[in-house]
Chains A and B, each alone.
Chain A
Amino acid sequence: MNPIIPLLILCLPLLGFLVLGLLGHKMSHKAAGWYGVLSMGTTMVLAYITAATYFFSNDAAFITEAGNRLQHIIFNQDWLQFTDSLIIRLGFLLDPISALLIVVITTISFCVHLYSLGYMEGEKGFQRYYAFLQLFSFSMLGLVVATNIFQMYIFWELVGASSYLLIGFYYTRPSAVSASKKAFIVTRFADLGFLIGILILSYVTGTFDFTDFTSVQDGSSYAVALNTPMGILARFQGATFMGCSLLTWALVLIFMGGMGKSAMLPLHIWLPDAMEGPTPVSALIHAATMVVAGVYLVARLFPLYLMEEAALMFITVVGAITAFYAAVVACTQIDIKRVLAFSTISQIAFMMVSLGVARPEFHESLGYMASMFHLFTHAMFKALLFLGAGALIHAVHSNDYTAMGGLRKYMPITHITFLIGCLAIAGIPPFSGFFSKDEILSACYQQSWIWGAWMSMVAGLTAFYMFRLYYLIFWWDEPDYGHHKPHDGPWVMSLPLVFLAAVSCVAGFIPFGTLVSWNGVPYHIHIDWMGVALPSIIIAVAAIALATVMYRKKNSLPEKFAKASCGLWTAAHNRFYWDEIYLFITHKIIFNGICRPIAWFDRHIIDGSMNGLAWLAQRLSITIRPLQSGSVQAYVYIYLFGALLLGAITTACVLL
């Protein structure tokens, strides 16, 4: 494949960032916005061409005779060479998941670019906003096409930085500033684990390349030859640290980076606050693309994780707990963006669980495929929901559902598309969420009925809170909107909604298994109607029915319900006090217990010794200053004394 197109996919957003960042202030809002949209649109078309070439061209570089998909490196440029073997490269790796991700990223990014033309109209710093969007798109694309784990880490940090910039876009609002700091610090903390994991892994194997880590020897099993890096790893499983093998540690630490980015418990606290950013940014970064980077990371290293069941188990447990936790919290939030944020956490946890339960023994790692499938569909319908929420906020000028209600009459396009999004996430056929969620539940049931039942329950909760939100926004009781009735946004805002809604309707019918699977062998999805699909539909419908009863018309049922829950509602409303726990740990324990003594040590011991030295030098200089008396004859006395001394010594030594 010609490397020009992949190169352009990376370069166009970067160029856009540079142009808009450096020259943006000279452009009008309209010019800057349309430049961003066109740049992203071109990137999207190029990404489609690349993905289509990869999936459908039947080129020998991409697919074998038997139909197995291959990893293909389009280019791989040496960037930093430390030693002969330790080289950091920048490249473009094309394989099923990276092809999938560039499509998702460019699509959502384009929609958001277009949507922002309407949403951000007249905002101060419009050009800056577009520059950051372009930077983010560039970093995210660089992340997914990384050929080695170090390139991924670099772009991982870039993504974090652009996320920081965009969350703090309204930098005059203190809440936005603290939210951006929180997001950056929490993900940085997680990235520390990621970095240590990378170092362990590359120290043991001596390579950074994904193709070395994840090349599967034969189609079905993950037995590895001992001379490959994976073989080396297998041998290193003997080395243990604190009761776990080195490989487990490396993988869990790498997953920790993913936990930070994907907002898994207990590092989830930044994501709800990240909603301080503009809503299209939430749609792009904090719903569709960046937060699934953790899932993508695990999927990328999946063959490695397969070698270590303990790490996969860890992922499953963390994902399952997070999914349930976030779903419960989402039922009680008032701010509609926060509901969606917790819903995002919950859905990403779904993907994590799906990866965690995937084993080659069960239907060729169905969970892997299901996770990627859900990543795709979730990106579409969650972006749709966020953009819909943005349209609502744009119309009502409030984030809280208490300021909304009965909006179905005023905003028909938003209403219909939002409903489609809700149906998709709730898992009602034929919308896309049903198919991907069904695959995930199948994968869970194959691992153990416990996970299956647990995740089915979370799916029911999902349907409940989404329709609670839906009814509270579009039905319930109509507040007094005054003279300015809310209305649908301009066409630039409606078009992405309609487009994403259309995708959410049909995406479920994509034969995903033939495109994406963990080892490239195509897999044919078949829906287990009786065992999994029907029960999950029944649960979803029941949850929707419950939500309809409770929230369709204004009544006192929700309040009674909240009172009857013995504090559970309040606890969930306060997100089970995670932020307070963090504050307690950081302020009370870390700041007071550790930082204070360190500060004291710094101020008194380190500074003190330096000040003492300075004081000593000063005293000394004051003491010896009178020697420089300015009296020539005093100097001569000293000089003469020295000269005579030297002369006497010489005489004594030479002549005696």
Chain B
Amino acid sequence: MEINVLYYLLPSLVMFCCGIYGFLTRKNMIAMLISLELMLNAVDINFTVINRFIYPDGQEGMFFSLFAIAIAAAETAMAIAIIINLYRVNKNVDVRDANKLQG
């Protein structure tokens, strides 16, 4: 069995779709954030794999993943700060209660 690029992209696709499913169905905001991380990681894998298999001369995909990880860390920190703040107000982390900005 020759392991080509599709073999690597398949698990990342599954990961991504799981992320979408989780993001759309979970009510706990932290669970949603976890789903978000899944999606982000799936994309990172895609970048890296395609870089490695198809453009092995450059390192753009790898660096993109690297920076994405850094930014994801920042984003998670911010998101969790906001969630905790919301928890103080609502006494829970249900996303359905965080709808004060509706029209």
Which positions in A face B, CB cutoff 8 Å?
625-633, 636-637, 640
Say if the beta carbon of B95 comes within 8 Å of chain A.
Answer: yes
| A604-B20 Cα distance, complex, nearest whole Å | 55
Contact B99 A625 (CB under 8 A): no
- The contact string, 1 if C-beta is below 8 Å from chain A, for chain B 18-31, is 00100110000000
Contact B96 A636 (CB under 8 A): no
Chain B residues within an 8 Å CB radius of A625: 103
Chain B residues within an 8 Å CB radius of A628: 101-103
| A626-B103 Cα distance, complex, nearest whole Å | 6
List 10 contacting pairs A-B, 8 Å CB cutoff, sorted by A.
A625-B103, A630-B98, A630-B99, A630-B101, A631-B99, A631-B102, A632-B95, A636-B23, A640-B20, A640-B24
- Of all chain B residues, the one with the shortest Cβ separation from A640 is B20
Contact B103 A632 (CB under 8 A): no
Say if the beta carbon of B100 comes within 8 Å of chain A.
Answer: yes
| A605-B1 Cα distance, complex, nearest whole Å | 80
Chain A residues within an 8 Å CB radius of B95: 631-633
Task: Please give 17 more A-B residue pairs, beta carbons under 8 A apart, in addition to A630-B99, A630-B102.
Answer: A625-B103, A627-B103, A628-B101, A629-B102, A629-B103, A630-B98, A630-B100, A630-B103, A631-B95, A631-B99, A631-B102, A632-B32, A633-B23, A636-B23, A636-B24, A637-B24, A640-B20
Query: Which residue among A628, A630, A636 has the maximum number of chain B CB atoms within 10 Å of its CB?
Result: A630
Chain A residues within an 8 Å CB radius of B102: 628-631
| A354-B78 Cα distance, complex, nearest whole Å | 96
| Closest-CB distance, A641 to chain B (whole angstroms) | 11
- Of all chain B residues, the one with the shortest Cβ separation from A622 is B103
| Closest-CB distance, B85 to chain A (whole angstroms) | 16
Mark out the residues of chain B between 76 and 96 whose CB falls within 8 Å of any chain A CB in the assembled complex. 95-96
| A566-B96 Cα distance, complex, nearest whole Å | 96
| Closest-CB distance, A30 to chain B (whole angstroms) | 71
| A625-B100 Cα distance, complex, nearest whole Å | 14
| A632-B24 Cα distance, complex, nearest whole Å | 9
Contact B103 A633 (CB under 8 A): no
| A323-B96 Cα distance, complex, nearest whole Å | 91
- Of all chain A residues, the one with the shortest Cβ separation from B26 is A633
Chain A residues within an 8 Å CB radius of B98: 630, 632
Chain A residues within an 8 Å CB radius of B32: 632
| A629-B95 Cα distance, complex, nearest whole Å | 12
| A637-B95 Cα distance, complex, nearest whole Å | 15
| A637-B20 Cα distance, complex, nearest whole Å | 10
Chain B residues within an 8 Å CB radius of A640: 20, 24
| A629-B96 Cα distance, complex, nearest whole Å | 10
Chain B residues within an 8 Å CB radius of A627: 103
- Of all chain A residues, the one with the shortest Cβ separation from B29 is A632
| Closest-CB distance, A89 to chain B (whole angstroms) | 62
- The contact string, 1 if C-beta is below 8 Å from chain A, for chain B 53-86, is 0000000000000000000000000000000000
3 residue pairs, one from A and one from B, having the closest CB atoms = A630-B102, A630-B99, A628-B103
| A626-B102 Cα distance, complex, nearest whole Å | 8
Chain B residues within an 8 Å CB radius of A631: 95-96, 99, 102
| Closest-CB distance, B25 to chain A (whole angstroms) | 8
| A636-B20 Cα distance, complex, nearest whole Å | 9
- Of all chain A residues, the one with the shortest Cβ separation from B24 is A633
| Closest-CB distance, A620 to chain B (whole angstroms) | 13
| A631-B23 Cα distance, complex, nearest whole Å | 12
| Closest-CB distance, B18 to chain A (whole angstroms) | 14
Chain A residues within an 8 Å CB radius of B20: 640
Chain A residues within an 8 Å CB radius of B96: 631
- Of all chain B residues, the one with the shortest Cβ separation from A621 is B103
- Of all chain A residues, the one with the shortest Cβ separation from B99 is A630
Chain B residues within an 8 Å CB radius of A626: 103
| A525-B80 Cα distance, complex, nearest whole Å | 109
| Closest-CB distance, B8 to chain A (whole angstroms) | 20
Query: Which residue among B32, B98, B102 has the maximum number of chain A CB atoms within 10 Å of its CB?
Result: B102
Chain B residues within an 8 Å CB radius of A636: 23-24
Chain B residues within an 8 Å CB radius of A630: 98-103
| A642-B23 Cα distance, complex, nearest whole Å | 17
Chain B residues within an 8 Å CB radius of A633: 23-24, 95
| A432-B41 Cα distance, complex, nearest whole Å | 112
Chain B residues within an 8 Å CB radius of A629: 99, 102-103
- Of all chain A residues, the one with the shortest Cβ separation from B23 is A636
Chain A residues within an 8 Å CB radius of B24: 633, 636-637, 640
| A625-B23 Cα distance, complex, nearest whole Å | 24
Chain B residues within an 8 Å CB radius of A632: 32, 95, 98
| Closest-CB distance, A629 to chain B (whole angstroms) | 5
- Of all chain A residues, the one with the shortest Cβ separation from B27 is A633
| A628-B100 Cα distance, complex, nearest whole Å | 11
| A633-B25 Cα distance, complex, nearest whole Å | 8
Chain A residues within an 8 Å CB radius of B103: 625-630
| A626-B99 Cα distance, complex, nearest whole Å | 12
| Closest-CB distance, A16 to chain B (whole angstroms) | 64
| Closest-CB distance, B103 to chain A (whole angstroms) | 3
| A231-B27 Cα distance, complex, nearest whole Å | 93
| Closest-CB distance, B101 to chain A (whole angstroms) | 5
| A625-B96 Cα distance, complex, nearest whole Å | 18
| A631-B24 Cα distance, complex, nearest whole Å | 11
Chain A residues within an 8 Å CB radius of B101: 628, 630
Chain A residues within an 8 Å CB radius of B100: 630
- Of all chain B residues, the one with the shortest Cβ separation from A631 is B99
| A627-B32 Cα distance, complex, nearest whole Å | 21
Mark out the residues of chain B between 7 and 57 whose CB falls within 8 Å of any chain A CB in the assembled complex. 20, 23-24, 32
| Closest-CB distance, A639 to chain B (whole angstroms) | 11
| Closest-CB distance, B89 to chain A (whole angstroms) | 14
| A630-B99 Cα distance, complex, nearest whole Å | 4
| A640-B25 Cα distance, complex, nearest whole Å | 14
| A626-B98 Cα distance, complex, nearest whole Å | 16
- Of all chain B residues, the one with the shortest Cβ separation from A633 is B24
| A631-B101 Cα distance, complex, nearest whole Å | 9
Chain A residues within an 8 Å CB radius of B23: 633, 636
| A257-B60 Cα distance, complex, nearest whole Å | 84
| Closest-CB distance, B82 to chain A (whole angstroms) | 12
Chain A residues within an 8 Å CB radius of B99: 629-631
| A600-B77 Cα distance, complex, nearest whole Å | 64
- Of all chain A residues, the one with the shortest Cβ separation from B101 is A630
| A628-B24 Cα distance, complex, nearest whole Å | 17
- Of all chain A residues, the one with the shortest Cβ separation from B100 is A630
| A633-B99 Cα distance, complex, nearest whole Å | 11
| A625-B102 Cα distance, complex, nearest whole Å | 9
| Closest-CB distance, B99 to chain A (whole angstroms) | 3
| Closest-CB distance, A290 to chain B (whole angstroms) | 65
| Closest-CB distance, B97 to chain A (whole angstroms) | 10
